Amino acid sequence: MHEPAGIPFGGLLASRADAERAPASLLGVMDATQSTYRDQCAEAPPAIRAAYDGACYNTVSETGVDCAGSVADLGDLGPDAAGFRESAARYSAAVEAELARGRTPFILGGDHAITPALVAAYAGRGPVHVVQWDAHPDMYPDFEGNRDSHACVAARLLEMPHVATITQIGIRTETAVQRGIRESAGGRVTQIPAWEAEQCPAFLSHLPDAAAVYLTVDMDGFDPAFAPAVAHPVPAGLSGRAGLELVKEIGATGRRLVGMDVVEACPDDRNNRTLILAARLIHEGVATVLARR
């Protein structure tokens, strides 16, 4: 059987010589220390790079944008032995450095607990509208006494003054406690539950036309038929097509994708279905950034 040599991440990665001029960057965060069920997602970043093999997938997006060599690969960061707060500071500093370079950062997780650290890097850069693709609202004030849990992501984001709104898409596990937090947020949270989202003609029509959007994709927002290898699978989720349409909607409506993470994919995946979908979402995100240039 003929099997060509692998080309990491679909051929989107820039050469070492060209990396400094790349308009986007890719960073792996191999941290699942705040996960409450499966922590294999810590191993996902290198697995995603390998699964999205450029010997099989070409560099052109669905919208016709050629993304070849447009992404600087920053490698992977892991957790700090001193604790999660120290780790989070390192992740945030890495994103800040990319923003200072004028690059759009794309992050491979890791569990969802890394997202507040990533979004914290946007403080002082104007309001950010977070779009959260997820089965879970992650709105607990704390989970089992841990304020940094991956079940508290949106609650921590609401504490950031520069986060103007949070749009949650695909939710199907909201508890009374989480609903109370959402309803007390003064209209900052818009929720499109799973049973409405698949038929929704436009996910982001409520956002300002020129909104700066940070997209965080928890892979369990998808139905397990499309993304079976996730840390917390929940039946009756959304399709891969719906996820790609969300990414494309950001650019098509004139809004700006200023950063993106894909989290909670696990590498124990037959035929790499979950990993390949995660990478394809990033690919379309990079295309959205390039189209604006």
pLDDT, the chain, mean: 95
**Each residue of 35-91: pLDDT tens digit?**
988 789 999 999 999 999 999 999 999 999 999 999 999 999 999 999 999 999 999
> What distance in Å separates the CA atoms of residue 288 and residue 293, rounded to the nearest whole number?
9
Find the helix packing angle between 44-51 and 273-292, rounded to 10°.
Answer: 80
Verdict on whether the full-model pTM lies above 0.75: yes
Omega prior to 110 cis, within 30 of 0: yes
> Higher pLDDT residue, 251 or 141?
141
**Each residue of 161-207: pLDDT tens digit?**
999 999 999 999 999 999 999 999 999 999 999 999 988 889 999 99
> What distance in Å separates the CA atoms of residue 139 and residue 41, rounded to the nearest whole number?
21
Task: State residue 65 phi and psi, 5-degree precision.
Answer: -90, 125
Q: What pLDDT is stored for residue 248 in this prediction?
A: 94
> What distance in Å separates the CA atoms of residue 293 and residue 291, rounded to the nearest whole number?
5
pLDDT band for position 1 (cuts 50, 70, 90)? low
Q: Cβ neighbours of residue 81 under 8 Å, at least 6 residues apart?
A: none
**Each residue of 196-241: pLDDT tens digit?**
998 888 999 999 989 999 999 999 999 999 999 999 999 999 999 9
